[in-house]
Amino acid sequence: MNTKLIRTPIAYGPEGQPTGAGAEHSRSVAPTVGDSARAGLGPIKISAKNIKVFYGEKQALHGVSLDIPDKAVTALIGPSGCGKSTFLRTLNRMNDTVPGARVEGRIEMDGEDINDKKVDPVLLRAQVGMVFQKPNPFPKSIFENVAYGPKIHGLASSKSELEDIVQSALKRAGLWDEVADRLHAPGTGLSGGQQQRLVIARAIAVEPEVILMDEPCSALDPIATAKIEELIDELRERYCIVIVTHSMAQAARVSQRTAFFHMGNIVETGDTEDIFTNPRERRTLDYITGRFG
């Protein structure tokens, strides 16, 4: 078994590049997929097998299996209450924080079971960043928001190093130019779209490998949405991104792989292009053409 999730956090260079042995390790493992349609995508990063989730008596997921490639955007679509957000939250064990929630099944990240007892969920979540539906910046300054993760994980050994991390995260989130002159203004004072990019910067400041996004644009106007989508497209080059979205158009624009959820099951998985142009399942066709949902 790979012990990466139990190790101490990786050190990061000034440009946010992972350095040291742990970082190299994180790029090496993972089985490759022989699927020719997926030629441009990275190897499988996360592999979920037969996931069942219960909230008390209620079962939200009925045995879902999904392979998620690295360096690509995977979109989870489906009508409300179909379990796509629940599935997303199993990937960083956020369901642990929900009282009465229970997860069954195996989720492998780089070949390692993240539900294993030896895995510290707190460290796992540092590796799997998450962006929520409503922008949720902390009631602190912009700088402190981004510095939050690096500080609690002790990623920076000096003040200037911390400043470098914050700057590079803000740059990668495409927010630097807008906030460079007011880093110490409150993060809650930004516009909705800026707040969402701030939250993304906060997530990537701890240099995760996976970023989960739960309907990141549903509270934003079209222009802010376009900016976030552009950003997601740029981030794809470095991270494994999983995005839950209600907007079929958004899934088509930003994702390479799509999984269609319905009633707690995955109906169909495939390359986004195939799903939207040539779905195999009747229910998928009905959903993407707007006949239900």
Least separation in angstroms between CB 236 and another protein: 20
Contact stretch for another protein (CB under 8 A) within 11-19, 22-30, 111-119, 197-205: 197-205
Q: Does residue 55 belong to the site contacting another protein (CB under 8 A)? A: no
**Sheet of strand 112-113: strand arrangement:** 58-69, 44-55, 101-109, 112-113
Least separation in angstroms between CB 130 and another protein: 4
Pair 187, 137: CB distance under 8 Å: yes
- How many residues touch another protein under the rule CB under 8 A: the total is 27
| Residue whose CB is less far from another protein, 43 or 132 | 132
Cα separation, 70 vs 137, in Å, equals 27
SS (H, E, C) 21-67: HHHHHHHHCCCCCCCHHHCCCCCEEEEEEEEEEEECCEEEEEEEEEE
| Footprint (CB under 8 A) of another protein, residues 111-170 | 122-127, 129-130, 132, 134, 136-140, 148-149, 152-153
Spatial neighbors of 125 by CB under 8 A, at least 6 apart, are 92, 93, 94
Among 206, 243, 251, 288, binds another protein (CB under 8 A): 206
Least separation in angstroms between CB 122 and another protein: 5
Least separation in angstroms between CB 158 and another protein: 20
For 98-127, letters b (16+ CB in 10 Å) and e give eeebebebebbbbebbbbeeebebebbbbb
| Residue whose CB is less far from another protein, 73 or 124 | 124
Pairing of strands 240-244, 257-262: unpaired
| Footprint (CB under 8 A) of another protein, residues 74-113 | 92, 94, 97, 99
Interacting residues toward another protein by CB under 8 A: 92, 94, 97, 99, 122-127, 129-130, 132, 134, 136-140, 148-149, 152-153, 199, 202-203, 206
